């Protein structure tokens, strides 16, 4: 175990300041500071508030993680950080902190993709991911079916939502029901008391001619809002538990159906589910049921590792180190719209990847002589704030 890479991971893509430390597949620390309470009264994450909170929480959270793990910063083999996607200003705080620590400590820096991290985190729970891995990634900003032959370098989208992300639909429906923000956990709780068959809400993109692996949750969200409005207009009570359970059932029915189909079609005998919505209790139970029926092995991390955290970033960083992947240069940008196919971000001045083998670490990672040459790009990034990460 001592020769496995010891990596610290920093996550600041949304409202959680997460710092995790792992050694290989072993979780040593998972420190989190959340600004969720500061956003609750606005009904959604306010980017400027999140950035400020990250700035205040960053150093104490890093110190707490090192203390929890019982390791010295000088022992680390690398610093990994979410380079995107997410809120631009929030990402910049994490990326800047990671650069500062990596530079000061003389450690390699790894800018990684938030979405691939949501998949890789399962190595901390269930050991090495099979290759390829079939992953259903469901979060506040994304809903995708992904086939990953190599989680450090090759992630292929099979399908994705064409409108709202699954978590976004949970949050919007919770708002309609007056359940506060974030909505996923509240709907999950209320749904336990309700009847999932009470109301037949639509299952998006499940017709014979619809794309097999794509999702759509916007029509479902509107159907729920119309149903609730009609009840209120008639002066009737809204049965919150039944609406929550019926809505939730519509979401997880489609997610699990399409995920099992993707496994079958691609000859993959296991399914990984990641992202904040993977914390949903009904998604977990229905996925288990359907996977067992189809002879598919299900891998879902415990709920605390499904929602945003630093350990997932450290897990992907450790895998990059273990596989000798190139580290990032110190002009690593934060990319708010980083595509899921870009598992890691080399940095602006990184040499052409075709000029070097995958095991070739960048010679300047300890020197930090780069940076500053592409300042206009960083300014551009700052203007790309979006609401969901
Ligand atoms: O992955 P995540 O923590 O942040 C993003 O990268 O977006 O996902 C957050 C999303 C939110 O939309 C939240 O409502 C949803 O995950 N979520 C849940 C549950 N816990 C969190 N949705 C349904 N059921 C839950 N138990
Ligand atoms: Zn996330």
At 57, is the secondary structure helix, strand, or coil? helix
Mean pLDDT of 92-106: 98
In this structure, what token pair is assigned to residue 118? 């949501």
* Test site for ligand 1: of 140, 177, 252, most ligand atoms within 8 A of the Cβ: 140
Residue 171 near ligand 1, beta carbon < 6 Å: yes
- What is the model's pLDDT at position 352? 59
Q: What pTM, to 2 d.p., does this model score?
A: 0.90
Q: For the chain, what is the mean pLDDT?
A: 91
The ligand 1 atom nearest the CA atom of 114: 6
- pLDDT of 304-362, one tens digit each? 999 999 999 999 999 999 999 999 999 999 999 999 999 999 988 876 555 544 444 44
229 CA to centre of ligand 2 in angstroms: 31
* pLDDT over 60 (residue 148): yes
Closest residue to atom 13 of ligand 1, CA basis: 184
Residue from 11, 125, 4, 6 nearest 70 by CA = 6
- What is the model's pLDDT at position 1? 60
* Test site for ligand 1: of 118, 139, 192, 245, most ligand atoms within 8 A of the Cβ: 139
- Paired with 237 in beta bridges are none
- pLDDT of 1-29, one tens digit each? 668 999 999 999 999 999 999 999 999 99
- What is the model's pLDDT at position 54? 98
* pLDDT over 70 (residue 387): no
- Paired with 26 in beta bridges are 23
- Paired with 133 in beta bridges are 148
Cα distance between residue 196 and residue 213, in whole Å:
24
Where do the domains of the chain lie, and which CATH numbers do they carry?
6-120+309-382 (3.30.420.40), 131-303 (3.30.420.40)
Percent of all residues in the chain with a pLDDT value above 90, rounded to a whole number: 85
In this structure, what token pair is assigned to residue 344? 């890691």
The ligand 1 atom nearest the CA atom of 174: 14
CB 76 within 8 A of CB 8: yes
Count of all residues that appear for the chain in the document = 389
Higher-pLDDT residue of 39 and 275 is: 275
Q: Are strands 16-23 and 109-113 parallel, antiparallel or unpaired?
A: unpaired
Cα distance between residue 15 and residue 68, in whole Å:
22
The band of 53, judged by pLDDT with boundaries at 50, 70 and 90, is very high
- Which residues, in sequence order, are CB contacts of 254 under 8 Å at separation 6+? 203, 204, 205, 206, 215
- pLDDT of 107-132, one tens digit each? 999 999 999 999 999 999 999 999 99
């Amino acid at each position: 175990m001592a020769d496995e890479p010891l990596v610290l991971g920093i996550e600041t893509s949304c409202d959680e300041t997460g710092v995790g430390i792992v050694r290989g597949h072993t979780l040593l620390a998972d420190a989190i500071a959340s600004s969720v309470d500061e956003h609750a009264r606005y009904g959604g994450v306010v980017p400027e508030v999140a950035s400020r909170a990250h700035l205040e929480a960053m150093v104490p959270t890093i110190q707490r993680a090192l203390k929890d793990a019982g390791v010295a910063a000088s022992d680390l083999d690398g610093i990994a950080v979410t380079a995107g996607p997410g809120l631009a200003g929030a990402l910049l705080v994490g990326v800047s902190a990671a650069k500062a620590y990596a530079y000061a400590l003389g450690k390699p820096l790894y800018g990684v993709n938030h979405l691939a991290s949501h998949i890789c985190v399962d190595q901390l729970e269930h050991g090495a991911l099979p290759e390829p891995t079939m992953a259903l990634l469901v979060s506040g900003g994304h809903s995708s079916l992904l086939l990953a032959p190599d989680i450090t370098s090759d992630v292929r989208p099979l399908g994705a939502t064409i409108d709202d992300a699954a978590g976004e639909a949970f949050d919007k429906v919770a708002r309609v029901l007056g359940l506060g923000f974030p909505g996923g956990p509240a709907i999950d709780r209320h749904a336990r008391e309700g009847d999932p068959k009470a109301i037949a809400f639509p299952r998006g993109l499940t017709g014979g001619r619809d794309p097999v692996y794509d999702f759509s949750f916007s029509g479902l969200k509107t159907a729920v809002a119309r149903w609730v409005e009609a009840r209120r207009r008639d002066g009737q009570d809204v049965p919150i538990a039944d609406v929550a359970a019926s809505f939730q059932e519509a979401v997880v029915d489609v997610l699990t159906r399409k995920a099992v189909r993707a496994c079958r079609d691609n000859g993959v005998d296991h399914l990984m589910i990641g992202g904040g919505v993977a914390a949903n209790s009904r998604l977990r139970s229905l996925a288990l049921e359907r996977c067992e029926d189809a002879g598919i092995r299900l891998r879902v991390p415990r709920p605390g590792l499904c929602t945003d955290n630093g350990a997932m970033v450290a897990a992907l960083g450790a895998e990059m180190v273990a596989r000798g992947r190139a580290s990032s240069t110190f002009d690593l940008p934060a990319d708010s719209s980083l595509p899921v196919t870009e598992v890691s971000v080399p940095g602006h001045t990184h040499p052409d990847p075709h000029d070097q083998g995958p095991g070739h670490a960048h010679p300047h990672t300890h020197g930090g002589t780069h940076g500053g040459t592409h300042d206009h790009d960083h300014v551009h990034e700052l203007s790309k704030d979006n609401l969901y990460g």
